[in-house]
Amino acid sequence: MTPSERPRRLNLQQRSVLAGEAAAASAEVETALSTPSDTAAAAFFDVDNTIMQGASIFHLARGLHRRQFFTTREIASAAWKQAYFRVVGVEDPEHVAEARSSALSFIAGHTTTELEELTEEIFDEAMAHRIWPGTRALAQLHLDEGQRVWLVTAAPIEIAAVIARRLGLTGAMGTVAEHVDGVYTGRLVGDLLHGPAKAEAIKALAAREGLDLALCSAYSDSSNDLPMLELVGDPCAINPDARLRAHARAQGWRVRDYRTGRKAARAGLTAAAVAGAVSGAVAAGLGVRAARRPNDA
């Protein structure tokens, strides 16, 4: 690492830690509602393509688009740009960081209450029927054993909290948007809860709740979540991408695939490049709206 690279990398790590700590803190209200009999073990579930088919941020974006939060042209333009970078493999890390940092800027000026109410509506419209029954059953097994179950996702905490509440889970940790007096500023607290940030969130929550990570379980579809999966004693790959499937088999981890054979094969070839691009692009597209005047079409 050169001297010029060190400050930037350190800054990225600091943002991951901040995002993880903010996500863990946001789970406090939910955990207060549960009374687990097993206080040492817990389970952590990714959301997109793990507990829900597709990307939750995409479903939220589509619902907000129907409510005229932004235009079709804005979201399509951002989607194409992100998909191109991912498919051809020349994605600029700084460009990605900028896109991620603007992922929630579309809600600037809106209240937390407004977004929570809309998310409840959009969950019923577009998300409830997309929950994977197999993954839901795994989460219920942990609950039945007296363990707490948290969602851990890069999606906004508002989405994650609704999903967790509707499924009867303990709580959720997700990307936290800054807000002052109940009004969103359009900035993130730290960074997206993605990759290493998820592991930081789990470590912060485990320290606060007295969890033994060696007794905990984690579930994800993506190799991006290896930091989270490798943190616990019982990792499981759900609907895995090709890299995660290979890693899980090499490590002797459990693997569960609830997709059809055709969907699983297609996902193994293209999900990381295209499906991930679409969900990331939606987030970038949402940020475009914040740069416009409120009455722009």
Which residues are part of the catalytic machinery? 46, 48
Residue 45's DSSP bridge partners are: 151, 219
**Nearest one of 106, 103, 109, 115 to 55, comparing CA atoms:** 103
Angstrom distance (rounded) from CA 61 to CA 189: 20
What distance separates the 2 farthest-apart alpha carbons in the chain?
Answer: 55
Quote the DSSP letter at residue 157: H
**Nearest one of 177, 170, 238, 228 to 198, comparing CA atoms:** 228
289 phi and psi angles, rounded to 5 deg: -60, -35
Q: How far is CA 207 from CA 25, 28, 32, 82, 100, in A?
A: 12, 13, 16, 37, 27
Tokens (6 digits) for 133 = 């029954």
